[in-house]
Every structure is written in C-alpha cells, then in structure tokens.
Structure 1
Amino acid sequence: MDSSPFNRSGLTRRSPPPTPQPLAQTPSREPIEKMETISTPELQNWMGSIEQSLNEVCSITTEGKLNSEQKLRVSNLCRKVGHNVAQLAVQYQSLKQKAVQTHYYLQALNEKQDLTEKLATEIKTVIKESCTKPISESTSFADMVKKGSNSFVRPVQHSAVAIYPSDNSKTSDETRNLVQKIVCPEEMKLKVRGVRKVRNGGVIISTETKDDLEKLKQTVQHANSGLTVDEPQKRKPRIIIIGVPSSMAESEVYSCIFEQNMVDKVPSMTRDTFLSSIKLSHKSGRRDSDHHNLILEVSAVIRKALITQDRVFINWTSCPVRDFTLVTRCYNCQQYGHAAKSCKNTAPVCGHCSEEGHSIKECTKKNDSPKCATCLRFKNQVTIKPEILIARLG
C-alpha cells in the first residue's frame, strides 16, 4: 500500500490539524457542546479505502485486453482521482479547525454579553436610586459633583454693553460716575448685574434682561454726555512662548513665527493678515537674562496652529508654547481672587508653612514640607455654594 503511486492518505497522517483549545482568558460557565465532526483516523480510513479501490482498478486494467494507451489513460485518471480526494481531505481538516475555533469564540462572546447585560442592569439600578434620593440642605457643591447629579449648574449668559468716553484722558472711574448720574436704576426699574472697568476709560455694564439693556442704551445715547455705547469686545486668546531670545526684535520674532510655523499650517493666511491678528500683551522673565517669555494676543486660527504643534520655531530656537492663564493670588494672605494691595488681612500669612504672623522670608520651617494656606484655612474642606460659583464664573 505504501509503495503505491496513488497513496495520498499519508498527507493527512504527516500533518494532522492542531486540536483547537478554548480561550484561556475566558472562563467557561457551562461545558461547550461537542461539534459533530469527522475524526482524523476515520478520514484516513476512508482515504485508504479509496486508494485500495484505485489500485485494484489499475491491476484489472493491467491484466485486461487493453492497449498501452488505454492502460496509461486509466492509470492517469486513477492518479488524478486520488490526488483530488487527498486535497479534499486537507481542505476539510482546515475548515474543521476554523469551525471549532469559531464555536469557542461564540461561546466566549455569549459569556461576555451576559456579563455586560448584568453590569448594565446594576448600573441602571444605582443611577435610578441616586437620582430619586432626596438631597439634603447640607449637601455642598463638591458633593454634588462627586455624585454625578444630572442637574448641572451653569453660569447664566447676561446681556452687557460697553460705554466709553469721547475724551481719552478720562478714567474708568470718571466714566462710571457719569453713567451713575445719568441713569437711575430705581426710577427706570433696571436690574443691573454688575459694572466693571476696562481699558481706554470704559466700563462694561451687565443687566438681567435684554429689555433692561435697551433702556440703558437709549438713556445714555439721549443724554448727550459725550459717552459712546458699543458692544463689548471679547478678549482674544492669549498664548505664552517660553524662552524667546532677548536679542531678537519683536518684528523679527513675528517674521520667524509666520515663515517657520504658519506658512505650512495655514497656507491661505497672508503675512498682512497674520501681523494684524497678533499683538504683544506683555513680556515676563528676568530683565538681565538672555531669554524671556512673550505673552501674545492672537486669533483663534493662529492659536490652534501653534498650540497643536506644542512648540514654536524661532530662528535657531525651539520654544515651548502654552495657553496663557492668569490666576490672581494674594501674597499677603496666600488666598486667590484678589491682589495684596486690596487684601483685608492685617497680619501676613507665610507662603511656605501657611502660619499667620510672618512672611516667607522670615519663615523658620523652610526645611519642612510646604503646606497649602487655603487647605489649612478651610481644613481641607472647601465648599462653594452654586450661587457663589455662578457669580464668579459670570
């Protein structure tokens, strides 16, 4: 049998398909149902039977009254049949392996789906219980954020108007006093939210409703007091470029930013458009240093192009770029939201140990770890009421 030219069953014996194993990471809750597949030994027996029949056909042909050409044709046909049957067996083995693996994968997916549905049910139950639970009066804003309540506190968008004096020499205080002489909120029944000073001697007044804002505009315009009413302009985004060489002029820096950074990022932007959309706010850093930081007011397009690449290339220097955010901190009481010149505390608070009565220069505990003055003052429990937060954000 082994010397026969039609012996193809050895192919399946030489390369039996690997037995598929279940996924090791997925535990099985129930035994996997056995698939109805033909085993390798059974398949080999079938192959051997077919080969034996083909050999017998060849033997009968050899002994019969056929010419040489007919015997050769019968032999070739038997060889072809044996080869095709062997290929069919190999293809079956491959399909069987893939079918068994798919069976295990489906079983694992069913288990994961059951687990997902169970977790989803538990999460819905927890959310429903937390939403229906009454909120006590002592609940703080921080507690509400931790619990993930569905009712978010958002700042209200109030109407506002900007009022500027015709005379540029006047200050914002003088403009505010003049507006207060012209407008009487009590008589006009206005609901004024606030008045804040801006540059160029102007003030911005915010009201509760748009009707109140229209009354305020008409009163100021008809007063003929030399005041102009305008829409308040939003401040442009500000970015800080760290480590700019001090030897470079401002125009050179702008030229390098445009040519080395903006040309490839925003091809449609011209140099004139770029220069009109960028403005120096101020500089920071030591005066005697070779490098300083530039705080620039730019348009939203320029800000996005520079921030996304994380660095600004200026001549031979690669400078980090960040969004510039300014948080006011008092160096007298170490609290936030006001400056030292307007602080009401009479005794200073140390910026290192957070104890009252001395400054950081006079601190004798500099070898100890620093402490937060805000956390120490409020005993690590800073509670901000929603209405206070809205007022600060507004």
Structure 2
Amino acid sequence: MKTNEREIKSLIEAVEAKYSERVQSLVAAQQSFEKKVEEAEKKVSDFTRAIKENSDNVCRELDSNKKENKKVCEEVKGIMSKHSGVVSETYADKLKRGAGCAPVILKPKKSQQSNITRNEVKECINPANLKVKVNGMFNRQDGAVEIKCVNNSDRDILADEIKNKLSQKYDVEIPGLRYPKILISGLSANLECDKVEKAIRKQNDVLFEHLKCTKVFKSQKNPRVFNAFIEVDGVAFKSIIKEQRINIEWDRCMAYESDGVLRCYKCWGFNHKAAMCKEQHQICAKCGENDHSYRECQNNFVKCRNCSIAKARLNLADIDEKHDARDSCCRVLQRKVKLQAERTLY
C-alpha cells in the first residue's frame, strides 16, 4: 500500500510540475503578446500624431500662401490664354455673345429693294455723331434692313434718331426678346403642362422668375417616353443646363438647350411647320431631291438644299453644300440659330 501511495504521490507531483510549467509558459506568451500590442499601439499613435502635425503644417502653409497661389494661377491662365491661341468658349457660348440685345428693324412703307433702304439710312444718319457702336446692317425681305448694336442703350439712341428723320418713309420696330427654351426628355407619363410646372418648382433647387411649360409630346424614338418644352428665365436656364438633369414627379429627366429655330420637316426650310409648307412633295434631307424621304434615299451623294438655295440666291461661292440639311455645320442653320440666340434673354 505504501508503495502505491508513493507512486500516486510522485505522479501527482509530476502532473503539477508539468501543469505549472505550462501555466508559466502561457503567462510568458501573454505578457510578450501584450508588450508587442503596446509597442504597436505606440507606433500607430506616433504615426498618427506625425501625420496630424504634417497636415496642420501643410494647411497653415497653404493658408498663408493662399493669396499668392491665387495670384500666380491667374497670371499663368492669362499667359496661356494670350500665347496659346486656345479659345475656351464653346460654339454655344459664342452664339450667346451679344445675346439679349434685339436689333432695330427698318421696314419701308412702300415696296423697294433693301439696298435702297440701306443707302438712305447711311445718307441720313451717322453713328459716329450719335456715339453708338453698330455691329452691322443686314438686308431682309421686302426691302427691310436689320441694324444690330452692341448694347440696348446704343440701339435705343439709334432707333430714336431713325424715327425722327425717316418715320415718314419707314416703320421702325424692335422685336421683343424671348425666354430661353429647354427640351426635357424622359418623362414616363403624359403629364399636363400645369403638372409639369408644379413638379419642377417643388422638386428642384432652382429659383424661377419665369417658368412655363409650352408643350408635352410623345417621343418619336420611343413611344413609351414623353418629352416636354419649357421656357425659363436666364438665371434658371443656366442652372438647369449646368446640372443637365431635372426632377419631375417620379422621373429624373435629361435637360437640353433648345435653339428655338422653327423647322419644316417636309422641305427642311425654316420659319414654318410642315402643315404650312408650300412644297407639294417631301424633300430629302440627305440629297435635297424630292419625292422621297431621307430614310428612303438611295443616292450616293449628299447635298444640303438650304445651302444650295442660299448659294444661288446670294451668289456665295465659298458656301459648302455637301452635307445633310440636319447637320450642325450647315451655314444656313448656324445663321438661324445665331439670330435666335441674339434675341434670347439669357
């Protein structure tokens, strides 16, 4: 019995010794791990503090040199614009230059040619004596001429002078300016105009002095989608076109600038609709020939009917007519768009 007790006792002591060694090993490992964690936290803290100090220094440096940096940037931009010859204006921006100043239109009370009207105006009136700046004088139909000035003040002075000296032979008109128009694309429902206006006012962060929905119509490309035309004041127009999106009820629609040019889709001319067109046959927008549409055209050549007519009527040898009548490079279309831009209150 005593031998067995001694064996059991020694076995227990061996187990306790082994367990004690294991516990000591775990405690040492835990202490080592905690030490490494403390060292890592210290490094992270030091690194974060260094980043913050560097960021503060950079911010202070930028703030102290803010005015100087702005001045240098302006000087660089000035030098680049002066010597590079690169113009940052878009074509639309160029069209809007001088917009908002309606011309003076001089109409003869009796039938005569525009050249006679032009010559009589030049004989009776001298812009230099009035100290007004004139952009040009242009012939119109029925013997009328159109005179453009740099600003409204100069135009009014010139119009008053023409009325004083030539009112017996001519009617003087100043056409009213129109509001900019926007094409809205992507409506999922055929809404009434008043609902479109109400939704635009309530769902968009834009202040409107003027807002009018003029038309809601079905898209030709997708019968399930509807489009709309709205006219707005100049400030709201710039804000919407910059965003290029507008919210209307459940839809976030695309917003595009509308040039406001009235086109006929039968003859591809201007200033009238297809329902009022005097042409008996459909004119092809691609080749300029009649009796077929551009979808049915099988000709290999391209010819703009508008530029062809203008070239023959005005004897313009340099005008290019080898393009589609719908092409944005069309000189006649560009002229119409430019006229609309000049008479728009941007």
TM-score range with shorter-chain normalisation?
0.3 to 0.5
TM-score (normalizing by structure 2): 0.41
Q: Which has the higher contact order (CA 8 A, sep 6+)?
A: 2
TM-score (normalizing by structure 1): 0.37
